[in-house]
Chain A
Amino acid sequence: MNGWIGRCLRINLTQGKHHIEEIDPKLLEKFLGGRGLGVKAFVDEVAPQVDPFSPENKLVFTSGPLVGTGAITGASCNVITKSALTGGLVCAKMRGHFGAELKFAGFDMLIIEGKAEIPVIISILDDKVKLIPALEYWGRTTVETEELFKKNLGDPWSARETYVASIGPAGERLLPLANLVNDRFLPVGGAGIGAVMGSKNLKAIAVRGRHSLQVADGNRFMQVVTTLINKLNSAPLTQSMSQTGTAFLVGLCYQKGILPQNNFRRAPLPLRNIGTEALNSGFALRSRGCFACPIACIKKADVKHPAYEGKGMAPTYLAIGSLGVNCGITDLATIGMASMMCGEMGLDPVAAGGALATIMELVEKKVITPEELKIDLRFGNGEAMVEALRLMATKKGYARRLGQGGQALAEEFGRPEIFMGVKNLPLAPFDPRAIQGMGLHFATCNYGPHHLYAYTFIDELLNVHENLEPTELEGKPLLVKRYQDTTAVMDSLGLCNWPLMGLKFNNYVPMVNSCLGTSYKADDLLFIGERIWNLEKGFNMRAGFDASHDTLPDRFTKEPIPDGPAEGQISRIEEMIPEYYHLRGWNEQGEPLPETLRAFDLEVG
């Protein structure tokens, strides 16, 4: 097969056995691979009511058909499971080289089921699948785990080609906020996965492969990829992304009043020390790329910064927003430290930042005192925040409460309205009052309010393909639906979504066809994306989500933004949701109509 391999590795941790299955080509045609295939396999095999921590829950790792073929930005590996945080599906996008190496190891999909008796590491090295006892790794940080595993391989050559995804202390202690870390990158949107891995006593997965991938028309494929690289080079936004990573968004979001401060209560004061200039002058940036990525947006701070000692990652937009400004912290070095702490401990920065912002507001409202917490968590206290992240992950002291997540905290103190999140997941740092389309997406997204399942800001804020005002409602439901479907299909192909800032979705179609030997048109692919979205929606509905979860906290719909460029705006999602449901072919309760499901060839009921 071209692009696809057509094999799935299934590992049962309870029995300690594994076997290889063929994947039905019809499924690949219908769901493409990656996120689509993974969600399909998960939905078919796992009951929606299952407890995330029970052995019946499964972990699915899937790499799309374009991953590893050299298709630009074809690197993303999707991790799908039932989230310990939201109780619904979670689909994390793993960056780096893990996904490509999984393909070279000869698998499109890896399904992990059951629960090991003792901590184990799954090692898939050159066709040998083994479960290695991991007692000596348990309790270590993600970076230590990776280093120790490579050292234990004994051969520096093969260690260099091995890629490891592991959980940190947070995942081992079953914190719902835990994430996994591969190649020292945090997968985005993975809150809830670390704890599921921890509950299976699975510390890490290591892969290395030597198989070849086939491409349908190599010459044409090489030409198309070269053209796309040149196109990306002439796009100004992907150039900024190359230079400073996603942090270039900070300034733009700030100008439009989208960047939130102090738990979404006000717009930040002028940011002199946090934008791209500060990043450039404070850190010598060194780019790191995921597999086959011409942009390389991940930045290492390869300098002797006192806080970093030459090992840290430069803060991204997510870190600056969630762990920084929204917690009142405007010092890049502290934000970088917090982000690094999240990586080492295996905490999701958005989820952890949301929990911290919640507790900081509780402190400010005097619902809880810093003495009770035994840690001085206030808006703007960076040192305490970094310490709280460490204590949270190691579950020490009073900070252990924090690890349960913002929603649980706010409810514990009887103030659920303080938690700024949807479906238990805190909002990514975009104020939905100032960017209406993103607000609609946050409310309706199957996975919780995360921008990475619909990059609507590309059109709303950056005006790349369409010229839309962030605060207008006109055309937003259609925009949200289109981006949600586009993202679903890009994830299924295994492509990163950020290049959409420089390329149209149509530009990808020749690359897909020359690689896979298919004759898709852009609309065919988007149709598959919509099918995937409906499939995910169906599972979440059976897991207990309904229209009442498609909403935003009252702060966004009732309290106008008090200051800044978007002063006076509120989120008007109620006006948009009916049109959105209608466009999706759903009824007023947000349930897919039987004819919609039939049109997508999905099971009705």
Chain B
Amino acid sequence: MPRIKIDHTKCTGCRHCETACSLNHVANTVNPRRSRVRVMRDGNRYYPVIAGPFVDAACTSKHYIVIGEQTYDMCAFCRASCPEKPYFIEAETGIPLKCDFCGIPPSPSCVRWCNSGALELVED
């Protein structure tokens, strides 16, 4: 099954993936807020997050993540298009967004435009 592997240590925070995604999903339109991949930022680090479905199970099993010396709230990197945060929801319609790997066979546009190696399409 193809997956998009995220290596946050390589992300430069350029947000080229966001523009690629919105261009590919909304005809001739660029808007990071309509993108299904967002680059979250914490201090010096960047974390690309790819939109997924919102299920209660994700919240009930919520815990804290330790990276390096810092502890992070899991919400900060959660991929769910949940009502608690403004990400991954079409502002005008309220429709939740979810990554579809840009069709079949998967050729995600974000991976095509990501030059830092932070996003990679892998089979497993």
Contact = CB atoms under 8 A, between A and B. Distances in A.
Interface of A: 2, 68-70, 72, 97, 100, 104, 156-158, 160, 210-218, 221-222, 225-226, 229, 232-233, 286-296, 300, 302, 310-311
B16 A293 contact: yes
A68 B86 contact: no
A218 B86 contact: no
B31 A213 contact: yes
A70 B12 contact: no
A160 B15 contact: no
B29 A225 contact: no
B55 interface: no
A210 B40 contact: no
Nearest to A232: B115
A287 B8 CA distance: 12
A292 B16 contact: yes
B86 A212 contact: no
Contact of B13 (A104, A156, A212, A289): A289
Given A212-B30, A287-B116, A288-B13, 9 more contacts: A70-B20, A70-B113, A212-B22, A225-B113, A229-B113, A288-B12, A289-B14, A292-B19, A294-B16
Contacts of A216: 28
Interface in B81-122: 85-87, 91, 109, 112-113, 115-116
Contact of B31 (A211, A226, A300, A311): A211
B83 to A, nearest CB: 12
Interface residues of B, number: 33
B32 interface: yes
A309 to B, nearest CB: 12
B4 interface: no
A288 to B, nearest CB: 5
23 contacts: A70-B20, A160-B40, A212-B22, A212-B31, A212-B34, A213-B29, A213-B30, A215-B23, A215-B28, A215-B30, A217-B28, A218-B28, A222-B20, A222-B109, A225-B113, A226-B113, A233-B115, A289-B16, A289-B116, A292-B15, A292-B16, A296-B14, A311-B44
A68 B12 contact: no
A72 B112 CA distance: 13
Contacts of A310: 44
B44 A300 contact: yes
B33 A221 contact: no
Nearest to B86: A157
Interface string B21-60: 0111011111111100000110010000000000000000
Contacts of A100: 15
A160 to B, nearest CB: 5
Contacts of A222: 20, 23-24, 109
Nearest to A294: B115
A379 to B, nearest CB: 33
Closest 3 CB pairs of A and B: A289-B14, A70-B19, A294-B115
A160 B32 CA distance: 13
Contacts of A311: 44
B29 A104 contact: no
B27 A218 contact: yes
Contacts of A287: 12, 116
B43 to A, nearest CB: 9
Interface in B1-18: 9, 12-16
A293 B20 contact: no
Nearest to B19: A70
A287 B46 CA distance: 10
Contacts of B87: 157
Contacts of A157: 85-87
Nearest to B26: A212
Contacts of B34: 212
Contacts of B9: 286
Interface string B64-81: 000000000000100000
Nearest to B28: A218
Contacts of A213: 29-31
Contacts of A158: 86
A197 B87 CA distance: 34
Contacts of A293: 12, 14, 16
A274 to B, nearest CB: 24
Contacts of B44: 286, 300, 302, 310-311
B12 to A, nearest CB: 4
Best-buried of B27, B76, B115, B116 by chain A (most CB within 10 Å): B115
A546 B85 CA distance: 57
Given A213-B30, A286-B44, A221 B23 contact: yes
A218 B115 contact: no
A291 B15 contact: yes
B56 to A, nearest CB: 20
A17 to B, nearest CB: 28
A117 to B, nearest CB: 35
A100 B33 CA distance: 13
Contact of A160 (B14, B19, B41, B112): B41
Contact of A69 (B13, B14, B19, B24): B19
A221 B112 CA distance: 13
Contacts of B22: 212
A226 B115 CA distance: 10
Given A70-B113, A157-B87, A160-B41, A289 B12 contact: yes
Nearest to A156: B76
A218 B15 CA distance: 18
Contacts of A218: 23-24, 27-29
A340 B16 CA distance: 27
B113 A210 contact: no
Contacts of B15: 97, 100, 291-292
Contacts of A97: 15
A225 B19 CA distance: 11
Nearest to B23: A218
A295 B14 CA distance: 9
A213 B19 CA distance: 10
A222 B26 CA distance: 13
A504 B47 CA distance: 33
B29 A210 contact: no
B118 to A, nearest CB: 10
B116 A296 contact: yes
